Structure 1
Amino acid sequence: MTFVAAYWWTAKPGFEAQFREAWKQGTKLIRKRYGSLGSRLHRDQRGRFIGIAEWPDRATWQRAYDARMAYDDEKVRSAFLDALDDWAEEPFLLMEVTDDVLVRSEKSFTP
């Protein structure tokens, strides 16, 4: 059963594009190294970026989390951290997917 973990970050003013690019590259690295299914980045009404990451199951996410999953590419990690103003120390939501009717289109997918 698919598992979802949600995180939030606030980028420094003027660093939003850098944050988004580093997040995309970092998400690809996590997908490759830790086995995630990828993630979607959203922006809430307060300006926070919300990442909703999907995993094949909770056990796969837990192994990655216990391993202190991180962006292994130092350049990507530095760009990500340099852009941050504030963030959640822990995921703010951990959820099992019970029903899924989300339509995924090639248009919305950015590899």
Structure 2
Amino acid sequence: MFIAVYEFEIKEGTEASFREAWLEVTKVIYQHCGSFGSRLHLSDKPNVLVGYAQWPSREQWEKDHKLTGLLYENAREEMRNCLVQSRTVYKLEVSDDYLQTTLASEYEQKITTK
């Protein structure tokens, strides 16, 4: 599994617009490019957001994905309009994985009530 970590420095007052556009772009990438989706995080730095995108492989991430469509193009343009700068901070291969989608206490409760 491959992970790309992005840093987005956005213009003051554009967070809501950026987040909305980011979501639309991410949906299209997920639906048409073979990614596992992405998460966007607020950082401890003003006007800096961090994105985490998960892919089955680096090769899938590196493919030349020809994306079109008015919704996608408008959302990409809106993201660009909000940006001061963006960069890929890390390109990571997963070595070990124990990320869970439920809390341990919730998991234990499911097991004991069955």
User: What TM-score do the two structures reach when normalised by structure 2?
Assistant: 0.77
Stretches (4+) displaced over 4 A: 68-72
Matches within 5 A, 1:42-81: 42-47=41-46, 48-63=48-63, 67=64, 72=69, 73-81=72-80
**Cα distance in 1, alignment partners of residues 80 and 89 from structure 2:** 19
1:30 alignment partner AA: I
1:33 alignment partner AA: H
What is the DSSP-based 3-state SS (H/G/I as helix, E as strand, rest coil) of the residue aligned with 1:98?
A: coil
> CA offsets per residue over residues 3-35 of structure 1, 9 Å max, x none?
101111111111100001111110011111211
Q: Is structure 2 residue 12 aligned with structure 1 residue 13?
A: yes
Bigger Rg, structure 1 or 2: 2
Task: Mark the runs of 5 or more structure 2 residues left unpaired by the alignment.
Answer: 103-114
Q: Is structure 2 residue 99 aligned with structure 1 residue 102?
A: yes
User: What TM-score do the two structures reach when normalised by structure 1?
Assistant: 0.79
Task: Mark the runs of 5 or more structure 1 residues left unpaired by the alignment.
Answer: 106-111
Show the counterpart of 1:86: 85
- Identity, % of aligned positions: 36
> How many Å apart are 1:39 and its aligned residue?
0.6
> How many Å apart are 1:71 and its aligned residue?
7.1
RMSD after superposition: 1.8
**Cα distance in 2, alignment partners of residues 8 and 69 from structure 1:** 23
